[in-house]
Amino acid sequence: MSNNKEKMVNLTINDKQISVNEGTTILQAAKENNIYIPSLCYMEGIHQFGGCRICMVHVIGARTLMASCMVPVAEGMVVYTNSRKARHARKLVCELILSNHPQDCLSCPRSGGCELQEIAQKLGITEARFKGERSPAIIDISPSITRDLSKCVLCRRCISVCKRIQNIGAIDAQNRGFHTIIGPGMDQNMEDINCTYCGQCINVCPVNALAETDAIQKVWQAIHNDDIHVVVQVAPAVRFGIGEEFGLPAGESTKGKLASALKELLFSDVFDTNFGADLTIIEEGSEFLARLEAALAGGEGNATLPMISSCSPGWVKFIEHTYPKQLDHLSTCKSPHMMEGALIKSYYAQKLGKDPKDIFVVSVMPCTAKKFEASRPEMQNNGHLHVDAVLTTRELARMIREAGIDFVNLDESNFHAPMGISSGAADIFGVTGGVMEAALRTLYELVTGAELPFEKLHVQPITGFEQIKEADFKLEKVLPEYKFLEGVTLKVAVTSGFEGARKIMEKVAAGESPYHFIEVMGCPGGCIAGGGQPRSELRDFSQKRSEGAYSEDESKKIRKSHENPAVARLYEEFLLEPLGSKSHELLHTHYTERGEFNELTRE
């Protein structure tokens, strides 16, 4: 394009004169001018497929109706979205889609937030005119994701997000015509393959064909069982997302309301995974220093560098499948909610004077992979699961609605002590770069005795949503016990999403990675945009949620994990020291080589 200036194109839609950038589709042009055209398979920037035909419009002079998501505007184009022909055709397409759909909206969890339902309602469909044969109704329940193909509209957004955004390709269209289904192929289930359970496919599914595997019933049962002490903990990212389920703006911190809602749901203890996050920093930071010492000063133990974070269970499953020979790079630390669960059933159980078998731990997570993580055999102690049930942010919102709690008007309250106490460092744990920043705040101070030299303690180069971010700084004037680090330039990297992770891991596998410490989160943008978070129509929802996290952090008096008094007390009373024997027993883990096709569990 000449002059660096976007060329404008003039056209009319419904006799309204409009002017948009060249290359804009009719659908986008209409949207920019507040004209509604329904669309189902289209997803801006991710998926342009033209398969569902529900966005058809009438273009004067064109031989047929046009799928407005596929057709770029042209100078002088005359478009009618509401001609008789266009309106009837769209309605007919919708009716035909519905004819191959169970239409069980009343008992569907997606009701009220279903795109197909919304379109049918907007198009004025009041009866099911067509009845006939239906496509295969396969139901596949994995620990994290449930597929109900009877509801699938074959929009293929899930395929695009899995293949192009996450670079996995765990599912694709199988068979042909009326027998088409979306899945792993060869009659395999999600459990049989290399799905990471990141849940990004769920976030883009317009209907309830892809959803989290339900934990709500299990949690209600536990809550209503008087013999069980039910403890809940909430991940950092949940508080910056759940408000959207109740109409609050994206990024608004709902910490206080969330604590109140959980108390009204009759959980016995309302804890905060942020406590576990602070604890993770202490353990992971200590592990990192031990590795550095082993690598630089010939100390004992694992000297494998770079060390890579292990908080994201989707990422852990990804590396187990994709780079099974590189598992030594993963930190042995369990993720924050697992650490916290393990401690609730040991340290806190002792305080309560209860048998761990009478304690039920519920984690509320922005994540679907956490459900799988909770089922891993490594995540238990003396036969007791660390975490008994994992709810996604969306599931908790449904429970809050079901209990008739008026979330928006709740009074604010605090999480319970001791495991509800946390630092600002934990608040940013769910944002890409947040775990690394939290770790650096503590590491730098531990090693040099001085505060991390960044404005507002934010390590600016690793904030934001670039795919791969890096930072390095020289360690100088270190304390005597860390003299092996004097003059060392520490290099760190941060990535989120598996495309970035793959790029980083290719270098690691080739032995060419220049970094000492890498943070990886499975979902692009981090947990705030996790597969268990509320779906958002906003383009910048991740940005908004991360702003919420950073300002929550800045509002705290205590902003470094090592200054969390409850964590300090935990070490005094129970763990004694980081990486000590109790820590090894409860807070650290090992990983499983799985192979590209999940050979281990299949054969």
Which sequence positions are flagged as catalytic?
Answer: 284, 287, 311, 331, 370, 373, 378, 527
Q: Is 140 in the site for another protein (CB under 8 A)?
A: no
The C-alpha atoms of residue 285 and residue 339 are separated, in whole angstroms, by 15
Residue 118: CB partners within 8 Å, gap ≥ 6?
Answer: none
Shortest distance (Å) from residue 191 CB to another protein? 15
Instruction: Considering only the stretches 171-179, 394-402, 485-493, 585-593, report the one whose residues sit in contact with another protein under the rule CB under 8 A.
Output: 171-179
Q: How many residues bind another protein (CB under 8 A)?
A: 17
Cβ atoms of 276 and 387 within 8 Å: the answer is: no
Q: Is 175 in the site for another protein (CB under 8 A)?
A: yes
Shortest distance (Å) from residue 165 CB to another protein? 14
Cβ atoms of 545 and 524 within 8 Å: the answer is: no
Q: Is 189 in the site for another protein (CB under 8 A)?
A: no
Cβ atoms of 238 and 391 within 8 Å: the answer is: no
Residue selected from 16, 596, 600, 601 as contacting another protein according to rule CB under 8 A:
596
Q: Is 476 in the site for another protein (CB under 8 A)?
A: no
Q: Which is nearer to another protein, 131 or 325 (CB)?
A: 325
Cβ atoms of 66 and 26 within 8 Å: the answer is: yes
- Give the number of other CB atoms < 10 A from CB of residue 12: 14
The C-alpha atoms of residue 79 and residue 58 are separated, in whole angstroms, by 6
The C-alpha atoms of residue 598 and residue 170 are separated, in whole angstroms, by 12
Instruction: Considering only the stretches 181-189, 201-209, 346-354, 491-499, report the one whose residues sit in contact with another protein under the rule CB under 8 A.
Output: 181-189
- Give the number of other CB atoms < 10 A from CB of residue 138: 15
Shortest distance (Å) from residue 321 CB to another protein? 12
Q: Which is nearer to another protein, 109 or 185 (CB)?
A: 185
Q: Is 193 in the site for another protein (CB under 8 A)?
A: yes
Q: Is 597 in the site for another protein (CB under 8 A)?
A: yes
Q: Which is nearer to another protein, 179 or 477 (CB)?
A: 179
The C-alpha atoms of residue 569 and residue 275 are separated, in whole angstroms, by 12
Shortest distance (Å) from residue 49 CB to another protein? 15
Q: Is 171 in the site for another protein (CB under 8 A)?
A: yes
Q: Which is nearer to another protein, 393 or 598 (CB)?
A: 598
The C-alpha atoms of residue 103 and residue 210 are separated, in whole angstroms, by 16
Shortest distance (Å) from residue 210 CB to another protein? 14
Q: Is 170 in the site for another protein (CB under 8 A)?
A: yes
Residue 58, classed as helix, strand or coil, is strand
The C-alpha atoms of residue 22 and residue 17 are separated, in whole angstroms, by 15
Cβ atoms of 467 and 500 within 8 Å: the answer is: yes
Instruction: Considering only the stretches 27-35, 98-106, 163-171, 238-246, report the one whose residues sit in contact with another protein under the rule CB under 8 A.
Output: 163-171
Shortest distance (Å) from residue 160 CB to another protein? 12
Q: Which is nearer to another protein, 137 or 576 (CB)?
A: 137
Q: At what angle do helices 115-122 and 84-99 cross, to 10 degrees?
A: 140
Shortest distance (Å) from residue 169 CB to another protein? 3
Residue selected from 172, 328, 466, 547 as contacting another protein according to rule CB under 8 A:
172
Q: Is 186 in the site for another protein (CB under 8 A)?
A: yes
Instruction: Considering only the stretches 56-64, 167-175, 357-365, 432-440, report the one whose residues sit in contact with another protein under the rule CB under 8 A.
Output: 167-175
Q: Is 169 in the site for another protein (CB under 8 A)?
A: yes
Q: Is 325 in the site for another protein (CB under 8 A)?
A: no
Shortest distance (Å) from residue 201 CB to another protein? 12
- Dig out the tokens for 109 from the structure: 């969890």
Q: Is 163 in the site for another protein (CB under 8 A)?
A: yes
Whether residue 524 is preceded by a cis peptide bond, meaning omega within 30 degrees of 0, is: no
CA-to-CA separations, 314 to 166, 232, 257, 357, 373, in angstroms, rounded? 11, 22, 29, 28, 9
Q: Is 173 in the site for another protein (CB under 8 A)?
A: yes
Instruction: Considering only the stretches 126-134, 164-172, 349-357, 371-379, report the one whose residues sit in contact with another protein under the rule CB under 8 A.
Output: 164-172
Q: Which is nearer to another protein, 81 or 188 (CB)?
A: 188
Residue selected from 184, 285, 314, 530 as contacting another protein according to rule CB under 8 A:
184
DSSP-assigned states of every residue in 83-145: SHHHHHHHHHHHHHHHHTS---GGG-TTTTS-HHHHHHHHTT--S-----------EEE-SSE
Cβ atoms of 333 and 274 within 8 Å: the answer is: no
DSSP-assigned states of every residue in 487-548: T-EEEEEEEESHHHHHHHHHHHHTT----SEEEEESSTT-GGG-TTSPP---TTHHHHHHHH
Residue selected from 143, 183, 497, 522 as contacting another protein according to rule CB under 8 A:
183
CA-based end-to-end distance of the chain: 56
Bridge partners (DSSP) listed for residue 232: 270, 362
Q: Which is nearer to another protein, 187 or 512 (CB)?
A: 187
Q: Which residues bind another protein (CB under 8 A)?
A: 163, 168-176, 183-186, 193, 596-597
